[in-house]
Amino acid sequence: MSDKRIKIAIKKSGRLTEHSTSLLQKCGLIFSHAKDQLIGYGENMPFDLMFVRDDDIPDLIQDNLCQIGIVGLNVAMEKQIGMEDAKKGCAYTIEQTLDFGQCLLAFAYPEDSGYSAIEQLEGKTIATSYPFIVSKYIDEKS
């Protein structure tokens, strides 16, 4: 792969993969990609598609290993907030939300727990894959 080729990272499998490849095709990008390959090659422009784990996409952009990534807003925000909390500069911008994916994050707890307001969760242990987003949300609401 030449350094002059644009590298685009997308999720390697699942609904976001189908939506992402469809979007790229609608933009006029033609590429070859076998189902079991992790790289697809642009046929009409100098670009490569990297099929990776969605959690890795922000890091690939941060480390300048790809120039564009299509990833869930939840994943991008979690990494971005985490870097800000660690006082590291974030080397990417969430440029545009797309009309697919629509992740929803929600708090769930037993009905008889006595919780009635988000402030009551402050200082509690919360099981989540998105600790930075949850912490920021609780801080903003408290």
Write down the domain spans for the chain: 6-85, 111-141
pTM of the model: 0.81
**Up-side HSE of residue 132: CA atoms within 13 Å toward CB?**
13
Per-residue pLDDT of the chain (142 residues; tens, 9 = 90+): 446 899 999 999 988 899 999 999 999 999 998 888 999 999 999 999 999 999 999 999 999 999 999 999 999 999 999 988 888 888 788 888 888 877 788 888 888 888 888 888 888 888 999 999 998 888 888 7
The phi and psi torsions of 56 (rounded to 5 degrees) equal: -85, -20
Tokens representing 40 are 């697809």
Task: Assess if CATH 3.20.20.80 describes domain 6-85.
Answer: no
